[in-house]
Structure 1
Amino acid sequence: MKLTLTKALPSSLSKVIVLDTDITFATDIAELWAVFGKFSDKQVIGLVENQSDWYLGNLWKNHKPWPALGRGFNTGVILLLLDRLRRLSWEQMWRLTAERELMSMLSTSLADQDIFNAVIKQDPALVYRLPCFWNVQLSDHTRSEQCYTEVSDLKVIHWNSPKKLRVKNKHVEFFRNLYLTFLEYDGNLLRRELFGCASLPSPPSNQLQQALEELDEDDPCYDFRRQHLVQHRVHLFFLQYEFLAHPDPTDVTLVAQLSMDRLQMLEAICKHWAGPISLALYMSDAEAQQFLRYAQASEVLSARRNVAYHIVYKEGQFYPINLLRNVALANTQTPYVFLTDIDFLPMYGLYDYLRSSIQQLELSHRKAALIVPAFETLHYRLTFPKSKAELLSMLDMGSLYTFRYHVWPKGHAPTDYAKWRTATVPYRVAWQPDFEPYVVVRRDCPKYDQRFVGFGWNKVSHIMELDAQEYELLVLPNAFMIHMPHAPSFDISKFRLSAGYRGCLQTLREEFHQDLSRRYGAAALKYLTAERSL
């Protein structure tokens, strides 16, 4: 791909820095960009000399590398003057060189690097020799030590050994610590203009700035409104994920969000749900690296390729729960989504049951939300029921309860658990205030309202909007999920302890009602009436 950049990148782009993904910058990249100013009229490519003996051709008997100028050059860091390369017909130049060499070499050993070197061997005037500290190459047998013992200010560390961090180098601990420091660095600091870069704000930045300026800092709910405007860094598909070429028309993805303190739920959910999963994880940069190590060490998680992990990096003082849900929802592939929470275990076989229900109820031709009834246990160790009959028996024995019946019955009472006990076919229920069931809907359902952060009303508002859009609410007779016990979150503690927190939530609820009335007109008045009658 590096060879094709003159053609692949926009013709208006005159120069570019090309980097391998296994490098660590130890300086401001603006310093490297400034090196373009040192190129002569003929120089078009900036490269650091190769620090291994590869191109000298003496590594083993009959070793025959591609032609190179002396030790050759490493293409882990490249400065390309695209406009000059285009004028030189670069596309034709490298192709002709490659085709000629392939007559005898048959294939490349080091991909694009071999071809760049063959072209430079033919015309040495093309290359600007970058100082070695711009690409310190750490492999087992290199001359990199000569570079970093002579130079105190190393700029770019390149882990170009196939063994990466496990390289046999006597100074490897120094470099590994540099790398780990970078990984655990707060990435939000990198977004600030630490080096005084003058840049014109884009229109979205102007809009954000205007919205921030319109906030009243004396508003008791200022912190809530400020959180809603935070623009988080997001790393989509953090780990390998296998995309579906042609998703099944009844396929459904489990959608949830979590933070580091709920990580222990992942393996259990993967054992209960065989289908695709989309998760948004709220983490710091350091926690993201801990998660990476955790996922790689887990036999269950490392064996799955249909779980999409999206990191939303921490910023602000509230947990952006509905932003996280929207990130996980927006990056699903299947036609349907199961909107749940990470502390619930779905019944065994729920994935297949939902797919057959979607087909039988012809969800593609109707606006409906399928409700999966929620239960809970207070036991950390639970023999998970294998059937509805077994669940009902545990319910009668008192080892299971209907979800939140003792603290928040309004949240799930409209599911009508009494009817569910004997139901054999899906049944319709009506929306009621504070209803917040877990549902299966089409992927194009309304987004969650992101003004709700932390604890409270984040799911209630979503179900209300589904109802405003005239979704049928259908309870599935043979589906269930069980909430597993855990310590209360920081946000629920704040909600319980702070009257100001609860007051702001009430203010946000009223504003949501007003917005709903504007969007849906008279049909939305019932929500306001219901709210005032409580």
Structure 2
Amino acid sequence: VLYNSRNERLNSTLILILLFPSSPPPLQMGVLSSCPPVCQRPPRESISPATLMLIHVACVCAGHNASRDVVTLVKSILFHRRNPLHFHFITDAVANQILSSLFQSWMVPSVQVSFYDADELKSEVSWIPNKHYSGIYGLMKLTLTKALPSDLTKVIVLDTDITFATDIAELWAIFRKFTDKQVIGLVENQSDWYLGNLWKNHKPWPALGRGFNTGVILLYLERLRRIGWEQMWRLTAERELMSMLSTSLADQDIFNAFIKQNPVLVHQLPCFWNVQLSDHTRSEQCYTEVSDLKVIHWNSPKKLRVKNKHVEFFRNLYLTFLEYDGNLLRRELFGCPSQATSESLQGALEELDEDDQCYDFRRERITVHRVHLYFLQYEYTPAGDDTDVTLVAQLSMDRLQMLEAICKHWEGPISLALYMSDAEAQQFLRYAQASEVLKNRKNVGYHIVYKEGQFYPVNLVRNVALRNANTPYVFLADVDFLPMYGLYDYLRKSVVQLDMAHTKKALVVPAFETLRYRLSFPKSKAELLSMLDMGTLYTFRYHVWTKGHAPTNYAKWRTATTPYKVEWEADFEPYVVVKRDCPEYDQRFVGFGWNKVSHIMELDAQEYDLMVLPNAFMIHMPHAPSFDISKFRSSPGYRYCLQTLKEEFHQDLSRKYGAAALKYLTAQRNI
């Protein structure tokens, strides 16, 4: 606002200063290096030194279900945070595989992740009988002074069923309020458990007053080590177990017994840092308005069904992060590129020409998609004879209805990659948990590839399913096909008969299709041939794309009793059984067109023999056309780019395999 010398208003100007959070510089074990000159910015008052403080968070996470839960926790933290973070996960082998893959593909700026083997810590707590559903992993927070790096001074410890409603830096700042003697920060327990009045003869472990809940803990590791924490909690547990015989609430009982003996060591946190929504809680007395809340703790196996007058608010908060698009959390914090964006990826992006008509296709090839392996419980026991075969396929939400039928037709292991958004993944979870067929099948590995970009990265998704097959052989199929009954056993026998272990063979499973949504599925080859003659079944795509399967030689297959070899021809794209270490699919092909053709071409280039199985078949079930095939048919630009990618693939094949690959280019030009 401008005034003249007589204090009369002359003009008004509104100046908006937009302060965007920029990315933190690369991190090395908590040390912040300076930004390179190219991205240095003048200091801003909005970014204080505290903003750059590295916050350490620890979680114990074991198994498939906990690995899913912890993702929602991490999303809620990332959504609100303005600081670099270092997550420390104490994991079993399952959670390690899932979370290491997830964070590596997530590429969140200014986030470090470290893993610690829970198996190495089991001996520290396995001597403690525990009745809590968390089992031995529910006791492992007691071992953190030993498990975490010796130079780590402080850490926030969280259960996996926590949701943050504020910046975790506010919780970290409470460490500054500790007195010189305080080593543990906890919220008072909001149930009557430790008062011992929940039922007749209820005898809980000793606790200070109402006791404390260990879903959220501030651990001053440096001080805990100094006072001999490891020996102190052990002596406490040994003493109490003489009368209590076992823990009922895992580590929480031991923490409380320790605090009862050493109350000066605890710093009581305000209760809104751990609003506990289990049965028998008095959490509503903890806050006046829901806007006061900082952390919601769903500490009940019943999760969202607990009783609370604000449960709808809590449920919506939880569901927000459960279905939140994790790609949005990749944003940089302070403007400088972080180590999450690798140099090779950055270089590949810079090499792309944005004026190229096929820029979007080329960018898709180098897009890094988040991957959550083994989204559901998975159990697989290897066959002892090294002949086992995994059915490998990919799908999106619109093919979900095929899963139950495939499981009924194929009893062997299955590796499925599902291309979905975060919200769709939760819909799939509910679908699978409600299906009697799916929830009783534990040998199906479901791997979520999260949506990003405008194309369906079909070959990338296929490769995720292929890489995570756990058998010597794989049956590379599509999810809209039903295998014949008994195909699993037949393929295992064929692997032996054709000496697949010592030869390079690709076993072709002949493909057929029906236009009927309801089909009386043939139980034998003879029945299938009869249905072919009656026009109930057809050879696959005979009316729109004959070349795709013509080399299978269906006329010969009708009377064949032994496997027969066929030669590669242009555009051949059969469904095959090969060794698991076969070439991967070429990820430049996205959406519709040439995604399987290019793979079969490379198998041929590597001199795989294509052997058609005489007593095997699969049938394609009808469905609405995909969005990608519609784009292919309607967009000249799409078809032009696909042709360009084909030509580049041929060139790359020639460089890789030399003169032997010239036949593919010749065959393509003769079409």
Q: TM-score, normalised by structure 2?
A: 0.77
What secondary structure, in the 3-state scheme, does the structure 2 residue paired with 1:93 have? helix
Structure 1 position 157 matched with structure 2 position 157: no
Partner amino acid for 1:492? I
1:126 to 248, 252, 265: 265
Deviation above 6 Å: which 4+ runs of structure 1?
Answer: none
- 253 and 97 in structure 1: CA distance in 2 versus 1, 3 angstrom threshold: same
Aligned to 1:94: 233
The question of 1:527 aligning with 2:660 is answered no
Alignment of 1:180-329 (within 5 A): 180-193=319-332, 196=333, 201-202=338-339, 205-244=342-381, 248-329=385-466
Per-residue CA deviations over 1:217-268 (Å, capped at 9, x if unaligned) read 1010011111122211111111111132666511111111111111111111
Whether 2:638 is the aligned partner of 1:517: answer: no
Deviation of 1:42 after TM superposition, in Å, equals 3.1
Q: Which residue number in structure 1 is paired with residue 549 of structure 2? A: 412
Residue pair 2:511, 2:574 contacting (<8 A) in 1 also? yes
1:29 to 168, 187, 193: 168
Q: 2:280 aligns with which of 141, 144, 149?
A: 141
In structure 2, the residue matched to 1:84 is 223
Whether the 8 Å CA contact 2:382–2:471 is kept in 1: the answer is no
Which is further off, 298-307 or 386-395? 298-307
1:247, 1:334 within 8 Å by CA — same for their partners in 2?
no
Match of 2:593 among 450, 456, 460: 456
Q: 1:363 aligns with which of 500, 509, 527?
A: 500
Distance 1:387 1:197 in 2: 64
CA contact (8 A) 2:547 2:570 kept: yes
| 5+ long unaligned stretches in structure 1 | none
**Matched-pair identity in %:** 85
Q: CA deviation at 1:89?
A: 3.1
In the alignment, is residue 337 of structure 1 matched against residue 478 of structure 2?
no
Distance 1:95 1:349, change over 3 A: same
Q: Verify the 8 A CA contact 2:512 2:617 in the aligned structure 1.
A: yes
Q: State how far apart, in whole Å, the 2-side matches of 1:399 and 1:241 are.
A: 37
1:381 maps to 518
Give the drift of 1:3. Answer: 1.5
In structure 2, distance between residues paired with 1:37 and 1:210 = 43
Match for 2:260: what amino acid? K
Q: Which amino acid aligns with 1:305?
A: K
Q: Aligned match of 1:108 in 247, 251, 276?
A: 247
Alignment of 1:7 with 2:137, yes or no, is: no
1:61 and 2:208 correspond: no
Q: Structure 1's 367 and 7: CA in aligned 2 closer, same or farther, altered over 3 A? A: farther
Q: Which residue of 1 aligns with 2:10?
A: none
Asked if 1:177 corresponds to 2:316, the answer is yes
Counterparts of 1:394 and 1:165, CA distance in 2: 51
Cα 1:106–1:478 shift into 2, 3 Å: same
Equivalent position SS for 1:176 = helix
Mapped to 2, the partners of 1:184 and 1:203 lie a distance apart of: 23
Aligned residue for 1:152, secondary structure, equals helix
The alpha-carbon distance between structure 1 residues 507 and 185, as it changes in their structure 2 partners (threshold 3 A), is: same
Could you list the per-position Cα deviations for residues 14-36 of structure 1 after superposition, in whole angstroms to 9, with x for gaps in the alignment?
43332222222222333333333
**Alpha-carbon spacing, 1:199–1:378, altered in 2? closer, same or farther (3 Å):** same
Aligned: 1:49 with 2:188 = yes
Question: What is the CA-CA distance between 1:492 and the residue it aligns to?
Answer: 0.4
Write the deviation string for residues 64-97 of structure 1: whole angstroms up to 9, x where unpaired.
2112222111111222233333333332222222
Cα pair distance change 1:346/1:145, threshold 3 Å: same
| Structure 2 CA distance for aligned equivalents of residues 198 and 4 of structure 1 | 38
Residue 34 of structure 1: SS of its match in structure 2? helix
CA gap of 1:136–1:458, structure 2 versus 1, over 3 A, is same
| 8 Å contact kept, 1:68–1:120 | yes
1:99 and 1:180 map into 2 onto residues whose CA distance is 41
Aligned to 2:623: 486
Q: Quick check: 286-295 or 114-123, which moved more?
A: 114-123
- Report the secondary structure of 2:360's partner residue: helix
Matching residue's letter, 1:81: Y
Distance 2:289 2:165 in 1: 17
Are 2:511 and 2:620, in contact at CA under 8 Å, matched by a contact in 1? yes
Displacement of 1:183 after TM fit? 2.2
Structure 1 residue 161: Cα displacement = 2.6
Counterpart amino acid of residue 131 in structure 1: P
> How far apart are residue 516 of structure 1 and its match?
1.6
Task: Note the residue ranges of structure 2 that are not aligned, 5 or more in a row.
Answer: 1-139
- Root-mean-square deviation (Å): 1.8
The superposition leaves residues 83-138 of structure 1 with CA deviations (integer Å, 9 ceiling, x where unpaired) of 33333333222222211211111100000111111222222233232221111101
CA shift, 1:151, in A, is 6.3
Letter in 1 for 2:420: M
Query: With structure 1 as the length reference, what TM-score do the two structures score?
Result: 0.96
Separation in 1, partners of 2:169, 2:659: 57
- Once residues 450 and 32 of structure 1 are traced to their aligned partners in structure 2, the CA distance between those partners, rounded to angstroms, is 44
The aligned amino acid for 2:515 is L
Tell me, in whole angstroms, the C-alpha distance in 2 between the residues paired with 1:40 and 1:150: 30
CA separation of 1:199 and 1:119: change in aligned 2, threshold 3 A: farther
2:485 corresponds to 1:348: yes
Query: Per the alignment, do residues 13 and 460 of structure 1 end up closer, same or farther by CA in structure 2, a change over 3 Å counting?
Result: farther
Structure 1 CA distance, aligned partners of 2:575 and 2:560? 18
In 2, Cα distance between the equivalents of 1:96 and 1:370?
Answer: 63
Contact 1:280–1:328 (CA<8 Å) still a contact in 2? yes
Distance in 2 between the 1:242 and 1:503 partners? 45
| Residues 189 and 210, structure 2, Cα contact 8 Å, conserved in 1 | yes
